Structure 1
């Protein structure tokens, strides 16, 4: 859109017709007078040709069957939530196991005392709290079992962590070992390719630890009532590949997405109204967690620090992201923010250069996922968000302006006394356009200005919304001697382009069609003290 307005109103007749290459010092043999008009050239463009030159790789132009146009801006992002949503630190459980023996005299013979098969219920806490874990698969981790005995003699034992097993085995992980009096027996196992199945009890994640074995009392040894086994079970350095459970109702911050709209950079923040802009999100979710999005922080900002916050039913009601029901599958969600459910027109009418979208949400918004555990997280999974800003060229402009500046160092007018550029436009675009030209020096000081030069006149838009008869206008832009001196001493021209659309005062929106044509014919007249050789 920026190129469309700039090129049609100013750039075409300044650049496209080679005025920037005009060097009057090099003209010889023919003296000009104010009554002589020399054609400079003609340029004719369709709207489609103009917008194909938009210098923004992020922008697409969509042409529909009826030749109406839309500007499309796309932005893609991807984020993961596993490490932030469910995490485990060092998990440690301690057991002080006293068999209830009595003090005895030294044994005259070797004696074996059986340790009955005993089950202990231990906790497997999750750091964020409130998540009921059904099962988890390890990328890595370490299981340590330390046993210290105060019995005189040795203890042969079998320790089993119920529910923890190699993924290629049906048997729970178990160790058989022997511990001596007042010596700690340490056994460690890598949990890579292991899984743990947990139980839930009153909101806690639990697993069972089973101990059995024999106490070997040698001749002359005795038992004491205080004898016991101290057992420490530690699971550490946990990294999860998959986890299943009920992750509850949890507030989560997923990611902040930022959409840069560079094509609005040079626009004023007022005067433009877009009839039906939309922002669309296509979300692909690989996590088994439905999430209700909160878009209340979505904010548009322009270059002047102004901002508008998204409001409407789409904010009030929230948006639920669908979730797959099986690991390895995906679920898609389509979101459309439009004038029907929000104030998106206000956000985009301010010509923002950035839209920030804090993506916050609530997991399992409808409560527990079901009678069976069916939430899941996979370490390589992600949520993909494809954002599309769609701006149909169905607009209303009133008191709209934008600024363009360009260097004039290469234009030589030393021998001109006065100079007039005649611009004849034949216009099918439903836009009126005028321009204020300011000649500035290297410090930005104003040297000369030419105000309110009408360069476009809008044709009438018919009842079917199309223009059938183009409008023609003629404008003479004159540089006096004072203006030429400013031109010679200046370094750039600042052009303030003012635009209004057909019947904007009556709140009429107009569509821009790709086949609309704009033609400029330029001629030059002036009082020049130099002659030229036309054959050079």
Structure 2
């Protein structure tokens, strides 16, 4: 057996024996010392050091960030975006038509002379409010204003229609249309782009402060000729329509509108690697993160939040958070263009979130309802801009203050060095663990052939022991554990048929049986020294 093959075999078996959800890159960097020659071959392989982050590093591959909180306790965080709501999806302006007919009240029949009659009147109309909205003003970005004038009068009619509620953006003057209607041309249709105007709906025809009012003034002059025949019911009519109106900015009161987040499924795949045992988080929080640039508050009701476990069990959210609406704030009118961030926390004080998260759920069902301008929120002047948005995300924070009891991870790794075993007769692998973590680990290795059948098993044994915990929550000192794994000649012959290894690790925290939660601080480490002794037929050729 060549020196290179000895080294590759020992490293492979050592690395496999230490696979407890760790990062294999550390093995690649392990320093090999010089060989020590005895009647057999004894090889100190090196020393490996793992932090808490390294030991739980596989979770980062499933989207979990591993860091630490302000107390230097290791923190697992998981973020996901639920959905966002744009302004145009939240509020639409309906098509609307306003019409009025004005009788002249004249009785003219072949007078034989010309006459002129002047009329003027001011009208006000109500904007349609489908959800209790009340607008002060709207800056339009699209759509059209269509106006139709009609006369039934057998005479020339000069008219002026002043739309006091539509203000030209450039001139700051109201929209005015004027013209002449005759018996031969009794109808006129006009159209203009709404984007040229701001709708001011804040005053009635008497100048009083109101909302949702459109004010229109009609002036017309009847020029009766000597042949005109006019009855009292003859008159002038007009209609004005807002067609496909779009808004850039709306001021006033948006009313009560709801936004439902229906049955969002949040996948928590990072729990999939743990199939047996339990992990109980003492202080997890499930945070709903709202970024709101709408100018109004929102009430939030958690209609349904439930965890679906690996076995399909459904655990619903309970506690005051499930029944008490939360408030999401919005920017005030002086801060248009900004966004307000609100975090609504579900934690152990207001819910059973520790139970939900400790069930290691496969998915979380989320159904949340939001309502604008809830009665429980302070009154606020409303606005909504076309670029405004409400985005909703979740942030799951899991400080490593946990109780772990027999938590099992099963993984399969390739084992492709069977050709290096032919000259090995006996192998003893020694592992010396110095552990500062309040966590013990046991390991079992099942070597399998190409068909997935077990050819050799290293039975479950303690790999490292949890350190004791002091009154301050920190471990009092490292524990030391020595493990020897022996491979006899017959065992090694069986390993020649192996192509993969099932690695079963079982983790248990210190005093787990007493339901004690322990803290994993970021400066804890697990150090393992590796050494091996092999009886081989040595071949010094490369």
- Matching residue of 1:235: 242
Matches within 5 A, 1:365-514: 365-366=374-375, 374-385=381-392, 387-412=394-419, 413-416=421-424, 419-479=427-487, 484=492, 487-514=495-522
> What runs of 5+ residues in structure 2 fail to find an aligned partner?
1-15, 205-209
Q: Distance in 1 between matches of 2:72 and 2:254?
A: 50
Matches within 5 A, 1:35-184: 36=40, 38-47=42-51, 50=54, 55-56=60-61, 59-63=64-68, 67-75=72-80, 79-102=84-107, 104-114=108-118, 116-126=119-129, 128-181=130-183, 183-184=186-187
Matches within 5 A, 1:331-350: 331-350=340-359
RMSD of equivalent CA atoms: 3.7
Structure 1's 470 and 152: CA in aligned 2 closer, same or farther, altered over 3 A?
same
Deviation string 1:290-315 (CA, Å, 9 cap, x unpaired) is 11111233344455555433321122
Match of 2:189 among 161, 172, 186: 186
> Is 1:321 aligned to 2:328, yes or no?
yes
Secondary structure, counterpart of 1:192 in structure 2: helix
TM-superposed deviation, 1:236: 1.0
Q: Distance in 1 between matches of 2:258 and 2:390?
A: 17
Alpha carbons 1:286, 1:381 under 8 Å: kept: yes
- Matching residue of 2:230: 223
Alpha carbons 1:292, 1:362 under 8 Å: kept: yes
Q: Distance in 2 between matches of 1:250 and 1:266?
A: 42
TM-superposed deviation, 1:238: 0.9
TM-superposed deviation, 1:276: 1.2
Structure 1's 375 and 509: CA in aligned 2 closer, same or farther, altered over 3 A?
same
TM-superposed deviation, 1:443: 4.8
Secondary structure, counterpart of 2:275 in structure 1: coil
Secondary structure, counterpart of 1:489 in structure 2: coil
- Matching residue of 2:217: 210
Query: Mean Cα displacement is larger for which, 290-299 or 352-361?
Result: 352-361
Match of 1:351 among 351, 354, 360: 360
Structure 1's 254 and 19: CA in aligned 2 closer, same or farther, altered over 3 A?
closer
Structure 1's 98 and 453: CA in aligned 2 closer, same or farther, altered over 3 A?
same
Q: Distance in 1 between matches of 2:163 and 2:17?
A: 75
Structure 1's 331 and 256: CA in aligned 2 closer, same or farther, altered over 3 A?
farther
Alpha carbons 1:433, 1:499 under 8 Å: kept: yes
Alpha carbons 1:294, 1:319 under 8 Å: kept: yes
Aligned length: 513
- Matching residue of 1:26: none
Alpha carbons 1:423, 1:520 under 8 Å: kept: yes
TM-superposed deviation, 1:340: 1.1
Query: Mean Cα displacement is larger for which, 250-259 or 488-497?
Result: 250-259
Structure 1's 198 and 428: CA in aligned 2 closer, same or farther, altered over 3 A?
same
Alpha carbons 1:435, 1:495 under 8 Å: kept: yes
> Is 1:196 aligned to 2:217, yes or no?
no
> Is 1:363 aligned to 2:383, yes or no?
no
Matches within 5 A, 1:514-529: 514-525=522-533, 528=536
Structure 1's 474 and 163: CA in aligned 2 closer, same or farther, altered over 3 A?
same
Secondary structure, counterpart of 1:399 in structure 2: strand
Q: Distance in 2 between matches of 1:13 and 1:390?
A: 23
Query: Mean Cα displacement is larger for which, 396-405 or 445-454?
Result: 445-454
TM-superposed deviation, 1:14: 8.0
TM-superposed deviation, 1:504: 0.5
- Matching residue of 1:27: none
Q: Distance in 1 between matches of 2:407 and 2:56?
A: 23
Q: Distance in 1 between matches of 2:70 and 2:92?
A: 52
Structure 1's 50 and 15: CA in aligned 2 closer, same or farther, altered over 3 A?
closer
Secondary structure, counterpart of 2:116 in structure 1: strand
Q: Distance in 1 between matches of 2:382 and 2:276?
A: 46
Secondary structure, counterpart of 1:268 in structure 2: strand
- Matching residue of 1:3: none
TM-superposed deviation, 1:525: 4.3
Deviation string 1:269-298 (CA, Å, 9 cap, x unpaired) is 751011212233454432221111112333
Q: Distance in 2 between matches of 1:37 and 1:499?
A: 33
TM-superposed deviation, 1:142: 0.8
Secondary structure, counterpart of 1:346 in structure 2: helix
TM-superposed deviation, 1:367: 7.0
TM-superposed deviation, 1:450: 3.2
Alpha carbons 1:429, 1:459 under 8 Å: kept: yes
Query: Mean Cα displacement is larger for which, 350-359 or 136-145?
Result: 350-359
Q: Distance in 2 between matches of 1:225 and 1:67?
A: 89
Alpha carbons 1:125, 1:204 under 8 Å: kept: no
Alpha carbons 2:131, 2:256 under 8 Å: kept: no
**What TM-score does the superposition give when structure 1 sets the normalisation length?**
0.83
Deviation string 1:28-87 (CA, Å, 9 cap, x unpaired) is xx9x9xx84632512231416726966449544444676432223344677334223332
Secondary structure, counterpart of 1:161 in structure 2: strand
